[in-house]
Structure 1
């Protein structure tokens, strides 16, 4: 059988246009693979339809510019130049006309104007830009370009470099919308805060770091900060930026919380590893916020000290057992929020360790690690809580969920195992689109920029027939 696809475009006033054949397909019914449209046939059909539809739309747009809005005189034409409009269904080649400025207009403006430059300044359809950004945020740029070329009729003009440029442009636009950073975001007074309605519940925000290999200094890594905000009732949000490169880290954190409807009287718990930079990031965010030292990082350091104590026990069983017992006491006191008692035992532990006389080759490292642990607890003493009580209440005391987020955001895209190398700018910008993709806010961002993307432009009669 022969299948012909015909296209007719009707103008706004209802006048039907010419019926044009855009595809003619010879279809058999001998094998299962002959039934329906193949991917190649659908691509051919979509590309042909897209070319005619975009041509008709841009022609109607251009006609509106040919007449002066002041004197209704027709503007003189200065020829045209070719452009390529990159869409989801093929690259559409167009002739972009140039029109002279009307003589009634002031002479200080441009001598000519290109209407299509106003309509499509970047020559990329927003929906294609969205898909490129979404896919490239999940898989490498080259893989995203291959997927686009495999399933859509855009085999020409798509490559890893083009996709990367488009993604970074999207990220830069989002960055430009970010307001200026501030030292404190606690606006209003105590009276104003008490007058607010009761918030939905506590929000737990975990912040942790990961490392990406540096492109400029190949043997070194640079740090990225990853965050995840988890309200009691609501969807989580992700945060990511390159430490030292980002100039608005606190503003970025506040924006993430504001997207979840945060109020000034809302309880917020920040769980971090206690690092100075991350701890400073959480200060003066909200009057009802608290910073909590993550229990996981406390126990991780105690576990390392316990391994050293086991090494001492191999040379002096009594001394090793005494050190292990002291570590258990430290852990127990910290778990129950007895910070003063814990610091006292830590001081005793350091003193006993310093006076220890044993032929243990890693004793020096043991002493350094114990001293660093004492300083770590002292610096974060105000962030220590009664972990046991909070745990029994069903509240989070560990940022283990952020560890998983770091792996999801950094390791799975920045190819930690493959030792991929990144510039700080490229990594920072990709983090912005990747976090939006993972928490589901990328589409809403595009719909805010391009409101037409939110419209499902399908005739209800057609939907009924398909159903």
Structure 2
């Protein structure tokens, strides 16, 4: 069986172009694998159709833009360019036209209109898919994926995808809002009463992870990532490289504003209590609070209990007493009695330092207790009544931030494989990866290229074959 694929393009003025044959296929039917088009045949068909469609569109566009002040421009030859689309690389002729002499004031004598239509020589939708998949999987894997399912063999390589992705990330960075580190800037508390009633509390959990430095192989640098959860709205990711981003609070403010955050809206930061992430939560909003993550508190107490259980085998009485005190500390912290909890922690630290025993890990135990004492003291202002808030159904743990670290950092920056990154490359990739994960990358591209929102399939205006 022979199959002929024909294409006819009808212009906006209903003028049909000649019917062109774009493919001829010979099909046999001996098994299920012979039914329909194969992947290679589909690629060839799409590439041929794309070449004809783009050529026709470009010709129509050039006819409309060849005149200046009603005068038709004279041709000065052309040069070849390649327009990279989702369905193959389209070879085009980019014509050059002489400008009228009155238009040649201290400028070039010729103009190439196609440089205005396709300045980057790449279709926005292909750029979107390259950026999306490069943000989700390694560059080489993204290039292989696109080459497997689309006729984009030429130019689909890891370095090209990396360059395109970082260019998109740079554009996202350039659109970051003006320097503003707080919702209180240029705002008067009297104006907050005129604001509408906010939709509810926004919870933003921040945590950090480390990746290996590309230049200093034995050094790691920190990536801070977070996830915000509005009561009424979709969750959103944020990420940046600590130390590389000089205005991290401005980034957080811009992130919250895009989620509809108002100056009179309750905002809760949940962090692990580290100095870096704790400082980011300061003075962001007049209605914000910082909460020390309950998960990290219990994790430290669990480590202390393990040391105490080891001590029981060498000094049963002292080990049992320490275990009881650790239980009291956890109970007091859970019920928000931070003052009494600190007293018990101070007594515990004194007792452990004064204890004489043959326990081999005693020195480490003393160090861990001292670190726990300093940890609670440094974050005393962030301790709340966890039990009461838990019973009210509110968040007290940044466990979802731990999941965010795994989703944003571990699964792409490949900590286990010890991939190496530059701070700039990691920071820029975080911007596109955050949007790819929370589904806002497409919205960003539709803002830049409004025509992407007019997709025929999404609008339900499917094409009909005659």
TM-score tier after normalising by the smaller chain length: over 0.9
The structure 1 segments of at least 4 consecutive aligned residues displaced by more than 4 Å after TM superposition are: 458-462
Q: 1:211 maps to which residue?
A: 210
1:139-150 alignment runs, 5 A limit: 139-150=137-148
Deviation digits for residues 184-233 of structure 1 (CA, Å, limit 9, x no counterpart):
32242333223322222211111111111211122222111110111122
Aligned residue among 125, 131, 134 for 1:133: 131
What SS class does the counterpart of residue 262 from structure 1 fall into? coil
Kept in 2: contact 1:224–1:241 (CA 8 A): yes
Q: 2:385 maps to which residue?
A: 386
1:240-319 alignment runs, 5 A limit: 240-319=239-318
Q: 1:328 maps to which residue?
A: 327
Go from structure 1 to structure 2 and tell me whether the alpha carbon gap of 1:338 and 1:460 turns closer, same or farther (over 3 Å shift): closer
Kept in 1: contact 2:332–2:338 (CA 8 A): yes
> What is the Cα deviation at residue 462 of structure 1?
7.3
CA–CA distance in structure 2, aligned partners of residues 293 and 462 of structure 1 = 52
Q: 1:345 maps to which residue?
A: 344
Q: Does 1:114 align with 2:130?
A: no
> What is the Cα deviation at residue 278 of structure 1?
0.8
Structure 1 window deviating more from structure 2 (367-376 vs 331-340): it is 367-376
Q: 1:161 maps to which residue?
A: 159
Kept in 1: contact 2:212–2:221 (CA 8 A): yes
Kept in 1: contact 2:183–2:286 (CA 8 A): no
Structure 1 window deviating more from structure 2 (368-377 vs 402-411): it is 368-377
Deviation digits for residues 323-380 of structure 1 (CA, Å, limit 9, x no counterpart):
2222222111111111111111111111111211112232222222222211111111
Kept in 2: contact 1:270–1:282 (CA 8 A): yes
Kept in 2: contact 1:181–1:249 (CA 8 A): no
Q: TM-score, normalised by structure 1?
A: 0.95
Q: 2:86 maps to which residue?
A: 88
Deviation digits for residues 7-42 of structure 1 (CA, Å, limit 9, x no counterpart):
222233222222211111122333322222211111
Q: Does 1:44 align with 2:71?
A: no
Kept in 2: contact 1:5–1:22 (CA 8 A): yes
CA–CA distance in structure 1, aligned partners of residues 112 and 463 of structure 2 = 41
Unpaired runs of at least 5, structure 2:
none
What SS class does the counterpart of residue 68 from structure 2 fall into? coil
CA–CA distance in structure 2, aligned partners of residues 273 and 128 of structure 1 = 40
Structure 1 window deviating more from structure 2 (108-117 vs 184-193): it is 184-193
Kept in 1: contact 2:39–2:149 (CA 8 A): yes
What SS class does the counterpart of residue 15 from structure 1 fall into? coil
CA–CA distance in structure 2, aligned partners of residues 210 and 401 of structure 1 = 14
Go from structure 1 to structure 2 and tell me whether the alpha carbon gap of 1:431 and 1:161 turns closer, same or farther (over 3 Å shift): same
> What is the Cα deviation at residue 457 of structure 1?
2.7
What SS class does the counterpart of residue 454 from structure 1 fall into? helix
Q: 1:406 maps to which residue?
A: 405
Deviation digits for residues 371-400 of structure 1 (CA, Å, limit 9, x no counterpart):
221111111111110111111111111101
Deviation digits for residues 103-153 of structure 1 (CA, Å, limit 9, x no counterpart):
011421223221111111111100000111111111111111111111111
Q: 1:231 maps to which residue?
A: 230
Deviation digits for residues 78-114 of structure 1 (CA, Å, limit 9, x no counterpart):
3221111100000011111122222011421223221
Q: How many residues were matched structurally?
A: 464
Unpaired runs of at least 5, structure 1:
none
CA–CA distance in structure 2, aligned partners of residues 459 and 310 of structure 1 = 62
Q: 1:395 maps to which residue?
A: 394
What SS class does the counterpart of residue 95 from structure 2 fall into? strand
Structure 1 window deviating more from structure 2 (340-349 vs 213-222): it is 213-222
CA–CA distance in structure 2, aligned partners of residues 432 and 73 of structure 1 = 46
Kept in 2: contact 1:9–1:17 (CA 8 A): yes
> What is the Cα deviation at residue 305 of structure 1?
1.7
What SS class does the counterpart of residue 323 from structure 1 fall into? helix
CA–CA distance in structure 2, aligned partners of residues 133 and 248 of structure 1 = 25
Q: 1:28 maps to which residue?
A: 28
Q: Does 1:7 align with 2:7?
A: yes
Q: 2:195 maps to which residue?
A: 196
CA–CA distance in structure 2, aligned partners of residues 32 and 327 of structure 1 = 68
Kept in 2: contact 1:181–1:250 (CA 8 A): no
Q: 1:58 maps to which residue?
A: 58
Go from structure 1 to structure 2 and tell me whether the alpha carbon gap of 1:431 and 1:462 turns closer, same or farther (over 3 Å shift): closer
Q: TM-score, normalised by structure 2?
A: 0.95
> What is the Cα deviation at residue 247 of structure 1?
2.3
Q: 2:446 maps to which residue?
A: 447
Kept in 1: contact 2:182–2:250 (CA 8 A): no
CA–CA distance in structure 1, aligned partners of residues 415 and 458 of structure 2 = 47
What SS class does the counterpart of residue 419 from structure 1 fall into? coil
Kept in 2: contact 1:270–1:291 (CA 8 A): yes
> What is the Cα deviation at residue 460 of structure 1?
9.0
Aligned residue among 165, 174, 196 for 1:176: 174
Go from structure 1 to structure 2 and tell me whether the alpha carbon gap of 1:51 and 1:367 turns closer, same or farther (over 3 Å shift): same
